[in-house]
């Protein structure tokens, strides 16, 4: 069982370019999340999905979009990357959107130049 995987592991991206970060889980979890982690700040929620077909905005959604076409996949897209989006991005999932444990992926380190 792989759990939750993310791709790519790291990426250097020119400002203005479009980028999709991939996230896949094989635990059949209903809820999935995207966070960013910056030095000196706690993890911040970008977008979430309580179940396939639904998505919602988190604390810092601007400049990002997500989709949830099926249970397993939850890609995060940066339509036009800016340097302030340089960060480490973590995808997570939980059995339901209620108070259950979250499982995190290994992260994607993104640098926007």
Partner 1 sequence: KNQVEQSPQSLIILEGKNCTLQCNYTVSPFSNLRWYKQDTGRGPVSLTIMTFSENTKSNGRYTATLDADTKQSSLHITASQLSDSASYICVVSDGGYQKVTFGIGTKLQVIP
Instruction: Please tell me the distance from the alpha carbon of residue 109 to that of residue 59, in angstroms, as a whole number.
Output: 20
> How far is 11 from 37, CA to CA, in rounded Å?
15
Which part of the chain contacts partner 1 (CB under 8 A), choosing from 17-25, 62-70, 76-84, 102-110?
A: 102-110
* 95 touching partner 1, by CB under 8 A: no
Interatomic CA distance for residues 89 and 32, integer angstroms? 13
Q: Segment 25-84, which members bind partner 1 (CB under 8 A)?
A: 31, 33, 40-45, 48, 56, 58
The Cα 63–Cα 59 span in angstroms is 12
Which of these segments, 17-25, 63-71, 79-87, 95-103, binds partner 1 (CB under 8 A)?
95-103
Q: Judged by CB under 8 A, which stretch of 13-21, 62-70, 72-80, 91-99 contacts partner 1?
A: 91-99
Strand partners, 102: none
Please state, as a whole number, how many other Cβ atoms lie within 10 Å of the Cβ of residue 52.
15
Give the interface size with partner 1 as a residue count (CB under 8 A): 26
Least separation in angstroms between residue 15's CB and partner 1 is 25
Provide, rounded to whole angstroms, the least separation between the CB of residue 78 and partner 1: 20
Burial class (CB in 10 A: 0-12, 13-18, 19+), 91: buried
The residue ranges that bind partner 1 (CB under 8 A) are 4, 31, 33, 40-45, 48, 56, 58, 90, 92, 94, 97-107
């Amino acid at each position: 069982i792989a759990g939750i995987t993310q791709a790519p592991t790291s990426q250097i991206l020119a400002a203005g370019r479009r980028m999709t970060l991939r996230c896949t889980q094989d635990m059949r979890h209903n809820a999935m999340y995207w966070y960013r982690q910056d030095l000196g700040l706690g993890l911040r929620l970008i977008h979430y999905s309580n179940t396939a077909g639904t998505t919602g905005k988190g604390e810092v959604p601007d400049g990002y979009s997500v989709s949830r076409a099926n249970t397993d996949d939850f890609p995060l897209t940066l339509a036009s990357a800016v340097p302030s989006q340089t960060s480490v991005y973590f995808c997570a999932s939980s059995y339901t959107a209620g108070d259950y444990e979250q499982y995190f992926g290994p992260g994607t380190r993104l640098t926007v130049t």
